[in-house]
Structure 1
Amino acid sequence: MTYVQTLPFSTLLIFALGVNVPLGYLRQGARKYSLAWFTYIHLSIPFIILWRLAEGLGWEIVPFTLGCALLGQFLGGRLRRDNTMP
């Protein structure tokens, strides 16, 4: 990865994390294995893929974007659990 690609790479990671926090929050309120639950988990993936391809970023960044998406889902679910606890 060159210096020029650092900014698109960073913004993609921030996007993957940021968009998945609210999706994880919504997922936590959905019934497990329902259509809504499945949708909340996978909704951001096509946008992340399109962004990666549009910026010309290679396959080597997929683990990083996937990790940020999973972290966002976890954080969003955690926020919802913490808000609903008595």
Structure 2
Amino acid sequence: MELISMDIRVFNALSERVENMERTAEILYRKQDDLGLKRWLDNQDVCEMLGITKRTLQKYREKKLIPYAIFRHKVFYRLEDVEAMLQSSHHLNTHKP
């Protein structure tokens, strides 16, 4: 076992910096939760919810009727945006359960 000795002021300063980093990490973690990063849906999920084909969904994207994000060459949609699309006049659900 190796012992390291240091002045108490240096130790206290180091300890305070570590505590500050911990507080900052906690704040950043909470901010991430607040970004609305809840549930993201892929093309298949959205097509099923709206009762449309993938081509129709692509037309919605092209016309900027539904917001989306691309991550690693895959398209994702926020659940809130899909629900808003269901309520909008731009989408007429022709899919019958």
**Same fold? TM cut 0.5:** no
Instruction: Normalising by structure 2, report the TM-score.
Output: 0.30
Structure showing the higher helix proportion among its residues: 1
Task: Output the TM-score relative to the length of structure 1.
Answer: 0.33
Q: Which has the larger radius of gyration?
A: 2
Greater strand content: 2
> Of the two structures, which has the highest relative contact order with CA contacts closer than 8 Å and spacing of 6 or more?
1
